[in-house]
């Protein structure tokens, strides 16, 4: 064994990372507790992003840690196919109980990306199970992020995530995105303008004919593309158009799920219930990888036909509902419920909003937007060098003890739901200091 390889950063090809930049000047976290990380050089860094939008209850939560410890010594693994273990069923039941009405069945996965593939396949297979096999098309949206697998990047709308990977899925079309700085810049909460963009769905349906379309998939609030809050009435319009044409509506709630908007799910926040709801991240507080795809009864029931000894849906993962993840999920849900975290964002949203919008007028800032405990500050890109300015802000913030996320030239904030007002003050003050000195 090559001992020196132990401390060599070269072997790990890091995901969505500027690898060469990182490895010249690595940023390493070695521990974390509640709102803070500790770096390898002993500094405290406040987590203003809940990890990658997943550590909703904050770090190192005792219930979750203990549940994982216990589970590892009790039942480490059980086969996911043709066998069960109690905690997966218990978790599914609890999730169904807290989810919007009608979404009464859950399939487990190991990530948001897998949840997306599961949802898309379920939608197409559902129509076919009903004898409607001509409905195979999938409609996504520009600037949508649905993970990195082939189905997800096909319905997704982030160009660098798509352009390197060939022809992708066929039979996919895209709605326009709803980002409109001209009409909606500096909106607090839900933007006034743009509901008519949902009517583009009618145009797309007119082009392909409804009889060929299986599903529409959108993030209720687009997260990783820079926090795009849907215009007033937009999601309800999509719901109505889908209903009119027998098309399934899929909400990708990988980011918006589990309290991020100040309600358990975005479907609750907006009062629009999808046919399939995709979740991951906050389901286990990010501690053990897990996703959950919620489906309506009629979708589930459409598969429950034929001889009883025959598998109803040819889909699943080695680790679907695995014991460690199920234990982490149960402890996470308990922590959320005991501490009221799934609605805590509603109490703090106003304070967070005021803080964020106080950054208006600082150099290079061209928009500020927010909903629940998500916020974004959009910067004017350096001419000819997109992403450079925001990345510099990210590095400066890190030096000042604050972890933020950037996408393009947009800074995104999504603190753990345990955030206190004093933490929000630190986030806003530190970010303000960074923006003031940014080239
Ligand atoms: N759908 C949505 C809406 C997401 O936000 C995924 C699917 C994929 O999940 P997995 O678990 O396969 O990564 C996501 C993930 C960022 C960022 O900083 C966002 C995500 C992941 C990593 C970073 O914007 N979203
Ligand atoms: N590739 C091979 C060769 C496999 O045998 C399996 C699962 O059995 C997979 C991929 C899929 O792995 P997973 O179920 O962990 O997604």
Q: How far is the CA of 144 from the centre of ligand 2 (A)?
A: 27
Q: Which atom of ligand 2 is nearest to the CA of 318?
A: 14
> Is residue 220 very low, low, confident or very high in pLDDT (cuts 50, 70, 90)?
very high
Residues in the ligand 2 pocket, defined by CB under 6 Å: 317-319
Distance 4 CA to ligand 2 centre (A): 32
Pocket of ligand 1 from Cβ distances under 6 Å: 52-53, 111-113, 116, 145-147, 219, 223-224, 252, 254-255, 280, 405, 407
Question: What is the mean pLDDT of the segment spanning 330-341?
Answer: 98
What confidence score (pLDDT) does residue 185 get? Answer: 98
Pocket test residue of 318, 320, 321 for ligand 2, highest count of atoms within 8 A of CB: 318
Q: How far apart are CA 275 and CA 293, in angstroms?
A: 11
Q: How far is the centre of ligand 2, averaged over its atoms, from the C-alpha of 318 (Å)?
A: 7
Out of 3.40.50.12590, 3.40.640.10, 3.40.50.300, 3.40.50.1010, select the CATH number for domain 65-339: 3.40.640.10
Kindly tell me if the per-residue pLDDT of 280 is higher than 60.
Answer: yes
Rounded average pLDDT over 46-62: 98
DSSP class per residue in 218-249: E-SSB-TTT-BPPPTTHHHHHHHHHHHHT-EE
Confidence class of residue 57 from pLDDT cuts 50, 70 and 90?
very high
| 331 class by beta-carbon count within 10 Å (0-12 exposed, 13-18 middle, 19+ buried) | buried
pLDDT, residue 45, reads: 98
Residue whose CA lies nearest to ligand 1 atom number 21: 52
Q: Which ligand 1 atom is nearest residue 289's CA? A: 11
Q: Cα–Cα distance between 26 and 28 in angstroms, integer?
A: 6
pLDDT at 3: 46
Answer whether residue 107 shows pLDDT above 80.
yes
CATH code at 3-60+340-436: 3.90.1150.10
Average pLDDT across the chain, whole number: 97
29 pLDDT band, cuts 50/70/90, is: very high
Q: How confident is the model at residue 378 (pLDDT cuts 50, 70, 90)?
A: very high
Separation of 261 CA from ligand 1 center, angstroms? 16
Å from CA of 288 to ligand 1 middle: 15
Say how many Å lie between the CA of residue 165 and the centre of ligand 2. 22
What are the boundaries of each domain within the chain? 3-60+340-436, 65-339
4 pLDDT more than 80: no
Q: What is the mean pLDDT of residues 417-427?
A: 98
Q: What is the pLDDT of residue 1?
A: 44
For residue 118, report the distance from its CA to the centre of ligand 2, in Å: 15
The side-by-side arrangement of strands in the sheet containing 29-33 is 29-33, 36-39, 44-47, 402-403
Share of the chain above pLDDT 70, in %: 98
Using CA atoms, how far residue 116 sits from 106, 198, 252, in Å, is 13, 22, 7
Q: What residues have CB less than 8 Å from 314, skipping those under 6 apart?
A: none
Closest ligand to Cα 278: 1
Model pLDDT, residue 381: 97
Residue 305, SS3 per DSSP: coil
Answer whether residue 407 shows pLDDT above 60.
yes
Instruction: Please check whether residue 135 is in contact with residue 120, taking contact to mean a CB–CB distance below 8 angstroms.
Output: no
In this prediction, residues 199-226 reach a mean pLDDT of: 98
Ligand 1: residue of 145, 149, 157, 390 to mutate (most ligand atoms within 8 A of CB) is 145
pTM attached to this predicted model = 0.96
Q: Tell me which of 281, 293, 412 to substitute to probe ligand 1's pocket, judged by most ligand atoms within 8 Å of the beta carbon.
A: 281
Range 30-55 average pLDDT: 98
Dump pLDDT digits (tens) for 164-204.
999 999 999 999 999 999 999 999 999 999 999 999 999 99
**Pair type for strands 29-33 and 36-39:** antiparallel
Residue 192's contacts (CB-CB under 8 Å, 6 or more residues apart) are: 183, 184, 231, 232
| Inter-residue contact 410 to 227 (CB < 8 Å) | yes
Ligand nearest to the CA of 79: 2
Q: How far is the CA of 281 from the centre of ligand 1 (A)?
A: 8
Closest CA to 51 of 350, 276, 212, 281: 281
Residue 258 in contact with residue 416, Cβ under 8 Å?
no
> How many angstroms separate the alpha carbon of residue 319 from the centre of ligand 2?
10
pLDDT of residue 122: 99
Which DSSP state fits 157? Answer: -
Query: C-alpha distances in angstroms, 200 versus 173, 175, 249, 328, 345?
Result: 11, 6, 15, 41, 32
Atom number of ligand 2 nearest to Cα 317: 14
Tell me the CA–centroid distance for residue 148 and ligand 1, in Å. Answer: 9
Is pLDDT of 150 > 60?
yes
Whole-number pLDDT of residue 6: 53
Q: Are 129 and 369 in contact (CB under 8 A)?
A: no
CA-nearest residue, atom 7 of ligand 2: 318
What band does 7 get if pLDDT is binned at 50, 70 and 90? low
- Counting from 1 in the atom list of ligand 1, the atom nearest the Cα of 225 is 24
């Amino acid at each position: 064994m090559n001992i020196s390889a132990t401390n060599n950063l070269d072997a790990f090809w890091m995901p969505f990372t500027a690898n060469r930049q990182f490895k010249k000047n690595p940023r390493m976290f070695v521990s974390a507790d509640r709102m803070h990380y500790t770096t390898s050089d002993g500094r405290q860094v406040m987590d203003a992003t809940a990890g990658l939008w997943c550590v909703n209850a904050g770090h190192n939560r005792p219930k979750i840690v203990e549940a994982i410890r216990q589970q590892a010594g009790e039942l480490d693994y059980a086969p996911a196919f043709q066998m069960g273990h109690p905690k997966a069923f218990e978790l599914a039941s609890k999730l169904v109980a807290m989810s919007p009405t009608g979404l009464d069945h859950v399939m487990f996965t190991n990530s948001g990306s897998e949840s997306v593939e599961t949802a898309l396949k379920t939608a197409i297979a559902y129509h076919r199970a009903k004898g409607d096999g001509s409905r195979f098309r999938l409609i996504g949206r520009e600037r949508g992020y649905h993970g990195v697998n082939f189905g997800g990047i096909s319905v997704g709308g982030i160009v660098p995530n798509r352009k390197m990977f060939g022809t992708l899925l066929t039979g996919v079309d895209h709605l326009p995105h709803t980002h409109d700085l001209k009409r909606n810049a500096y909106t607090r909460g839900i933007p006034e303008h743009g509901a008519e963009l949902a009517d583009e769905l009618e145009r797309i349906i007119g082009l392909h004919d409804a009889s060929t379309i299986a599903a529409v998939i959108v993030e209720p609030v687009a997260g990783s593309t820079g926090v795009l809050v849907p215009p007033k009435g937009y999601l309800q319009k999509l719901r109505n158009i889908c209903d009119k044409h027998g098309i399934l509506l899929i909400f990708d709630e990988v980011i918006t799920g589990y309290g991020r908007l100040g309600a358990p799910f975005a479907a609750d926040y907006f009062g629009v219930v999808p046919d399939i709801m995709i979740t991951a991240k906050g389901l286990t507080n990010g501690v053990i990888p897990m996703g959950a795809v919620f489906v309506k009864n009629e979708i589930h029931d459409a598969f429950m036909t034929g001889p009883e000894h025959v598998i109803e849906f040819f889909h699943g993962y080695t680790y679907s509902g695995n014991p460690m993840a199920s234990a982490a999920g149960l402890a996470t849900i308990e922590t959320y419920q005991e501490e009221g975290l799934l609605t805590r964002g509603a109490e703090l949203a106003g304070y967070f909003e005021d803080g964020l919008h106080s950054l208006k007028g600082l150099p290079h800032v061209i928009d500020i937007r927010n909903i629940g405990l998500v916020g974004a500050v959009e910067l004017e890109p350096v001419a000819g060098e997109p992403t450079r300015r925001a990345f510099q802000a990210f590095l400066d913030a890190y030096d000042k003890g604050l972890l933020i996320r950037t996408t393009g030239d947009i800074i995104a904030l999504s603190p753990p739901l345990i955030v206190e007002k004093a933490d929000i003050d630190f986030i806003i003050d530190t970010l303000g200091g960074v923006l003031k000195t940014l080239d």
